[in-house]
Amino acid sequence: MKVIEAKLFSPDWEKVLARQNLEKGGLVQKVIDKSVIDWCLPYCPFDTGMLANSAYSATVIGSGTVVYPGPYARYLYYGEVWGPNIPVFEDDSGVPTHWFSPPGKKKHPTGRKLQFRTDLNPLAGSFWFERMKADHAKDILEEARKAAGIK
């Protein structure tokens, strides 16, 4: 019986990925992260702009995770009112000026949908990342392709 000896070529995958800017935390991931935040802006609830713009400072660009910080970001993302909420009236207009939750009472979903202002951001609403992705995934992939230098 004849023995055949063969050598398998194994490239250094880290160098191959780096050549195309595809390494972990590399240029392509940075472009994707920033593009996701940019494309999400019109879909985010927008009153003062605090939530929509907070992702720029809270996200480590290149990590692959976009972060919207804040105690209310989760509630806005899922678009549901949590309570108990007791209205506080500071004048005679009949319109609550703010809401109060008693100490020690654990908040829970009420089943009521949040109403989002759409005068500043017409696309504002819950699940903003999912809705943006449905509309702009191809745009983000195109930006990533260009960053990788792929024709």
- CA separation for the pair 75, 68 (Å, rounded): 11
Q: What is the pLDDT of residue 128?
A: 97
Tokens 């506080």 belong to which residue? 88
What is the structure's pLDDT at 73? 92
Q: What DSSP designation does 104 have?
A: T
- Confidence at residue 8, expressed as pLDDT on a 0 to 100 scale: 62
Provide the pLDDT for residue 35: 97
Yes or no: say if 97 and 88 are a contact pair by the CB < 8 Å rule: yes
Mean pLDDT of successive 10-residue stretches along the chain, which has 151 residues: 67 73 84 97 92 95 94 90 87 87 85 92 95 97 91 77
**Where in the chain are the domains?**
19-78+115-151, 80-113
How many CB atoms are closer than 10 A to CB 50? Answer: 12
- Do 51 and 76 meet the contact criterion of CB atoms below 8 Å apart? yes
Which of 68-104 are b and which e, b meaning 16 or more Cβ less than 10 Å from the residue's Cβ? beeeebebbbebeebeebeeeeeeeeeeeeeeeeeee
Is 32 strand, coil or helix?
Answer: helix
